[in-house]
Structure 1
Amino acid sequence: MEFRIKFRPFKLEDAIFINKLRQEEEMEQLIGGSKRPVSYERDLKWVEQIILGDSQTSIYFAITFMDSDEIIGYASITDIDFRNGSCFWSGIKIDKTKSGKGVGTEVALKILKYAFEELRMERCTGECLENHEAVLRMLLKVGFKKEGLMRNRLYKNGKYNSQWLLSVIREEYFEIKQNYGL
């Protein structure tokens, strides 16, 4: 597979883009985590901490097109557990003008490649809101398997929401790698 996107480290100026993404109400309603107003200054500090920190349990990637350095989104792998070989794909945020064009699929495949080939994980999990059908389809398309529905897992949008728990294990990744020519 020839990727149109690449990962790069965060830059301080990415905080402007990240803060704008947080203001997009539609996106915030469909992702896990608490919705709250976040100032540009807080996002700047957060990006700085990611850049200067040396976390052994999380990695953040700025997403750009191959021919550009301009950020179009970001993704992360968290809860990295080297002893047990597991990690959590904490999701993806992409500029809405770039979504729906296969970018999410490419990001998911690059995340899996990184988790299994660079971090040498045995298992990578992911979650999505039960009613976020586009993300569920994308996760299943790239090879994640449903493990179950976590009922009333997340309070969001004024109610408790269920979330799908999905995963890919190492042996499945090698099938994904072959199917997509990674």
Structure 2
Amino acid sequence: MEITASEMKGTAIHIRLLTESDAEAMLQLQLENKAFFESTSAQRSSEYYTLGGTKERIRSYTEAAEKDYDYYFGIFKNDGNGLIGTINLFAVMRGSIQSAYVGYALDEKHNGQGYTTEAVKLVVDYSFNELKLHRLEAGVMPHNLGSLRVLEKAGFEREGLARKNVKINGKWEDHVQLAIVNPND
């Protein structure tokens, strides 16, 4: 599958696949939001917070997209082009399933401004129209009301609760399961 670095543009932000030239901005985003991001995801090794580790992850993201496994996008503001977050499609399943999971992280100081909702809508459009996926899923800890609102505004519907689903900071956490189905299928 041919992957281009083309961007999907919204009104306030655009998303595009990350490239190695984004490594310094990506590292800065991760360092500035370390405690915030790790409150809802797994703790990361010290190598994760180095420029070398960041470049290696971006190289692996590129390879995964080329193989149609995962797609890792940066979220950039249209007025200044700065990296303010990430959104990804992961665990792409083909065959009779045609689905993937969505995950995202936005710079804490940009929360509550609609950027993540816009990014989710762009990635849904890309998933259904370019990748021809049938279904996208996401899981959110029940207390993360902002993230639940983001997904619901983007058209995801709640499907249930996955008990003790993801290990975060040494504890198995429940996750509300949400999904959206391609309306063209």
TM-score category, normalised to shorter length: 0.7 to 0.9
Query: 1:134-159: per-residue Cα shift (whole Å, max 9, x none)?
Result: 10111112211111111111222343
| Seq. identity, % | 23
Partner of 1:59: 71
CA 1:107–1:2: 2 relative to 1, 3 Å: closer
Q: For 1:88, which of 96, 101, 104 is the aligned residue?
A: 101
Partner of 2:19: 11
Partner of 2:155: 143
Partner of 2:135: 123
Alpha-carbon distance in 2 for matches of 1:18, 1:115: 23
One-letter code aligned to 1:29? S
One-letter code aligned to 1:143? G
Alpha-carbon distance in 2 for matches of 1:81, 1:115: 12
Report the aligned-residue RMSD.
2.2
Residue 69 (1) aligns with residue 81 (2): yes
> Residue 130 of structure 1 contacts residue 162 of structure 1 at CA under 8 Å; is this kept in 2?
yes
Partner of 1:180: none
Alpha-carbon distance in 1 for matches of 2:149, 2:44: 27
Partner of 1:42: 53
Structure 1 position 165, deviation (Å): 1.0
One-letter code aligned to 2:154? V
Partner of 2:36: 26
Q: After the TM superposition, which of the residue ranges 51-60 and 79-88 deviates more from structure 2? A: 51-60
SS across alignment from 1:121? coil
Residue 101 (1) aligns with residue 113 (2): yes
Alpha-carbon distance in 2 for matches of 1:162, 1:21: 27
Structure 1 position 52, deviation (Å): 5.2
> Residue 165 of structure 2 contacts residue 175 of structure 2 at CA under 8 Å; is this kept in 1?
yes
- Count of aligned pairs: 170
Structure 1 position 168, deviation (Å): 0.4
SS across alignment from 2:108? coil
| Structure 1: stretches of 5+ with no match in the other structure | 175-182
TM-score by length of 2: 0.81
Give the 4+ runs in structure 1 shifted more than 4 A.
none
Alpha-carbon distance in 2 for matches of 1:137, 1:65: 21
Partner of 2:123: 111
